[in-house]
Structure 1
Amino acid sequence: MRGLTLLFVGLAAAQSYPKDDVDKLVDASLPMLKEYLEKHPQGNCTLETAVRRKEWGDLTLQERKDYTNAVLCLMSKPALTSAQAPGAKSRFDDYIVVHIQQTPRNHGSTFFLPWHRYYVWHYEQALRTECGYKGYQPYWNWGRYAKDPVNSPLFDGSEGSMGGNGAKKAHAGIPIPMAPRPYNVIPPGDGGGCVTTGPFKNMTVNIGPIAPSLTDVQRNPRADGLGYNPRCLRRDVNRNAAAVTTANYTLDLITSNKDIYWFQTVMEGQFPQGKWGVHTGGHYTVGGDPAGDFYVSPGDPVFWLHHAQIDRVWWIWQMQNLEKRLAEVSMTRTMNNFPPSANGTLDDLSGLGVLAGDVKVRELMSTMGGLGGKFCYIYE
C-alpha cells in the first residue's frame, strides 16, 4: 500500500497543466525575443543557453524536494546581518533584513520591478552556491491554482509542497488600507494558525512583525522589527485573495497597459478604487505571518515563487515591445512619492545592502544579458 501511495504522489508531482492564455502569450512572444537578440547579441547569452525557470507544478517531486531542502539549508547557515539585526539567525533571514530596510524605497517607486528582479536572482544564486542546489528559482503561476489554492501542489502540505495551510484560527480578515468598502477587508480563509504540514512545518520566523495583517502576532522587541522574536510560520491560504490572480487578470494587465507607469500601478494595486492587483492578491493568497506583513513577507518561503511570477509577468510585458520596454522606467524614487522625490532614471543605483553592491537600474532591465551578463534566463 505504501508503495502505491508513493507512486501516486510521484504521478501527482508530474501532473501536467493545460496552457492558459498567459502561457500562450509567452509562446507567441518568444520569436520576438529571438529576433531582438539577433539584432542585439548579448554575448554568450542566447535563447539556447538561457536558464529556464519553471512553474512549481511542472517540477518533478524530486526537483521540488531539492528546492525546499536548499531553502532549509539556507535557514541553517549563520546570518551576515546579525550586527545590524539581532533577530537575524540565518542566511535566509539576511534577505528579510534587506527587504525590511529597503521597503520604503522599493515599492510604489521606480525600483519596484528592477530591484525585485535583482533580489530574486541573488537569492537563487545563494541557494545554488551555498546550498548545492542544481536547479533554478521556480515560479508560481497564480492562475493555475486560484480557484482552490489550498489543495494546489504549492499548499497541499505534502512533501512535494511548499508547506500546508495554517491550522484553523479565527481572525477578522486582512485590512486593505485606503480601499473603499467592501474592498477594504479580504475575508478570512480557513487557516490563520501555525503551519503543521510539509517541509516548513517546523520553521521558526525570527524577525518582525512590522505591519502584521493578523492582530495577535507577538510584537517585536525593537521598533524597527529587527529584534529576535521567534514564532511559528502561520498561513491563511485564501481563495478570496486568489480571485484577483486568475489568468484573465494577468493577461489584461499585460495587454491593456501600454506604458510602465500603468503596468506597474495596476500590478501593485489601485487601492482607492478597490483594485488589489495581482501583486497584492498573490501575497494575501498566502497571508498569515509573515507573508501578510508588507515588510517581512520574504520570511515565508513562498514569497520567492510569488515574486518570480511578478518578474515573469514583467518579462512577458517587456517582450511585447522590447526596443522600448527594456529601457522604460517610471515613478519617483520613494514609495508613493512620500516623501516627495525626483523621478527615477535608468542611471539610479539599486543594491541589496550587505548582500550585494549597487548597480545602475539599466543593468537590471533585461533577463538576457543584464547585470553584466550574469542575468541569462527565461521562463518556461
Structure 2
Amino acid sequence: LPSADPTFSAAQNHFDDYVAVHMNQTNTIHGTANFLTWHRYLIWLWEQKLRNQCGYQGHLPYWNWFKYQNNLNFSPVFDGSDTSLGGDGHFFAHNGSVVGAGRIWLPSGAGGGCVKSGPFVDKVINIGPVQPAMQGYTPVFTDVKAYNPRCQRRDLTMAATTSTFTAANLLNITVGPASQSIGHFQDELQGPFGTLRLHGAGHYAMGGDGSDVFTSLNDPAFYLHHAMIDRVYWIWQVLHPAQANKINGTITFRNNPPSRNGTVNDWLDMGSLGPQKQIKDVLNTLGGSPLCYIYL
C-alpha cells in the first residue's frame, strides 16, 4: 500500500507510515498514561489494515514470551521459516546493546546484520535508525526524518529473555504485588528507570532495528510483541475489574518535562493511520467502538 502521509517524505509505503507515527510521538506514548491504550489502538489498526486491505484472513498473533525464551531461534516467530517473521541477522561484530538508560549491557548474539532467512530477507526499511540500543548501528544524526533505505537488521539475544520472561514476573504483575493498581502494573511492565522488564526485554531480544525505541516498528515482530503486551494488559483487566477502566501517569515520558496527569478523555492521535479515539474508547476490548476481541 502507498504511504498515506505526504508530510513525511521518508515514508515510501503504508508500512513506513506506522513507523513515522510512532517515531513522531515516542516521548508522549512511553512512560505515560496512554502507553497501554495508544499501543492497543495501534495494533488494532494494523490488524484491520491487514484484514481489510491486504487480504489477510487471520487475526494478529501474539508472541508468547514464555515459550522458547531460552532459544529464540526455535520460536516460530524467529525460526527463519516461510511462516516466520524472519530469522536472525547475518553476523555483525559489535559490542552488544546498552539498555536501561545506559545502566545495563547485554552481550551480542550471533547476528546483528541483515535478516538472513525467512520472508523478509529482501525487506527494505526507510526510516531511522534514531536511537538503536545495538552498539555499532549508527543512527541518522542530521535529520531523523530523512529517507534512509537499508535492510532490516536483527540480533536475537537470549540475554534479554531468560531472566525476564519468567512465570514469576508474569504472576507479579497479574496477581502479585505489582498488580495492585494500574500504576503498579504498568510501571512494572515497562520497568522502573534503569531496569529491564517485560516490555523492554522483547524489544532488546530482537536487537537491531527492534531495539530502537523510536523506530522499532521497522521489525515486524514489534506487532506480535505488543500484541502480547496487550494480552497481558487484558488479563490484568479481567482479573482486576474495579481497576480496568483506570489509567495512571502524565502525558510526557516519565513526566519529563513535568506535565499534567492523563485522563480517559485524552485523545489517541494516530495521524494518517486512522481516526482519533479517546482513551476511554479503547479501555474495553469488547466495547464495540471500535474494539471487539478477547485473547486466548
Smaller-chain TM-score bracket: over 0.9
Aligned-partner Cα distance in 2 for 1:342–1:218:
35
Structure 2 matches for 1:89-108, cutoff 5 A? 89-108=12-31
Aligned-partner Cα distance in 2 for 1:165–1:325:
40
Which residue of the partner structure matches residue 263 of structure 1?
185
Which residue of the partner structure matches residue 111 of structure 1?
34
Q: What are the Cα deviations for residues 284-343 of structure 1, in whole angstroms up to 9, with x where unaligned? A: 11111x211100001100000000000000000001122x22211001011110111111
Aligned-partner Cα distance in 1 for 2:188–2:122:
36
Which residue of the partner structure matches residue 5 of structure 1?
none
Q: What are the Cα deviations for residues 249-277 of structure 1, in whole angstroms up to 9, with x where unaligned? A: 222221122101111111111233xx311
Q: CA deviation at 1:357?
A: 2.6
The 1:270–1:179 alpha-carbon spacing in structure 2 relative to 1, beyond 3 Å, is farther
Percent identity between matched residues is 41
Which residue of the partner structure matches residue 249 of structure 1?
169
Query: What is the aligned counterpart of 1:214 among 117, 128, 134?
Result: 134
CA contact (8 A) 2:9 2:146 kept: yes
Amino acid at match of 2:196: W
Which residue of the partner structure matches residue 125 of structure 2?
205
Which residue of the partner structure matches residue 10 of structure 1?
none
Which residue of the partner structure matches residue 300 of structure 1?
219
Structure 2 matches for 1:184-203, cutoff 5 A? 184-203=104-123
Aligned-partner Cα distance in 1 for 2:77–2:106:
21
Which consecutive aligned stretches of 4+ in structure 1 deviate over 4 angstroms post-superposition?
none
- Does residue 281 of structure 1 match 2:201? yes
Q: CA deviation at 1:132?
A: 1.1
CA contact (8 A) 2:190 2:200 kept: yes
- Does residue 130 of structure 1 match 2:21? no
The 1:320–1:154 alpha-carbon spacing in structure 2 relative to 1, beyond 3 Å, is same
The 1:236–1:314 alpha-carbon spacing in structure 2 relative to 1, beyond 3 Å, is same
Aligned-partner Cα distance in 2 for 1:179–1:172:
14
Aligned-partner Cα distance in 2 for 1:215–1:242:
19
Q: CA deviation at 1:192?
A: 0.7
CA contact (8 A) 1:267 1:277 kept: yes
Aligned-partner Cα distance in 2 for 1:179–1:232:
26
Q: CA deviation at 1:248?
A: 2.8
State the SS of the aligned residue for 1:185. Answer: strand
- TM-score between the two structures when normalised by the length of structure 1: 0.74
Aligned-partner Cα distance in 1 for 2:245–2:7:
35
Amino acid at match of 2:43: V
Which residue of the partner structure matches residue 352 of structure 1?
270
Gaps of 5+ in 2: none
CA contact (8 A) 1:221 1:229 kept: no
Aligned-partner Cα distance in 1 for 2:139–2:200:
24
State the SS of the aligned residue for 2:113. Answer: strand
Amino acid at match of 2:264: L
State the SS of the aligned residue for 2:140. Answer: coil
Which residue of the partner structure matches residue 140 of structure 1?
63
State the SS of the aligned residue for 2:294. Answer: strand
Deviates more, 1:241-250 or 1:200-209: 241-250
CA contact (8 A) 1:176 1:271 kept: no
Structure 2 matches for 1:39-118, cutoff 5 A? 77-81=1-5, 83-118=6-41
Aligned-partner Cα distance in 2 for 1:170–1:158:
25
Aligned-partner Cα distance in 2 for 1:361–1:188:
38
The 1:340–1:298 alpha-carbon spacing in structure 2 relative to 1, beyond 3 Å, is same
CA contact (8 A) 1:221 1:228 kept: no
Structure 2 matches for 1:9-28, cutoff 5 A? none
CA contact (8 A) 1:110 1:329 kept: yes
Q: CA deviation at 1:221?
A: 7.0
CA contact (8 A) 1:164 1:196 kept: yes
CA contact (8 A) 2:210 2:219 kept: yes
Which residue of the partner structure matches residue 337 of structure 1?
255
Query: What is the aligned counterpart of 2:232 among 313, 322, 344?
Result: 313
Aligned-partner Cα distance in 2 for 1:96–1:283:
15
- TM-score between the two structures when normalised by the length of structure 2: 0.95
Q: CA deviation at 1:145?
A: 1.3
Aligned-partner Cα distance in 1 for 2:131–2:85:
24
Q: CA deviation at 1:349?
A: 1.3
State the SS of the aligned residue for 1:194. Answer: strand
Q: CA deviation at 1:204?
A: 0.7
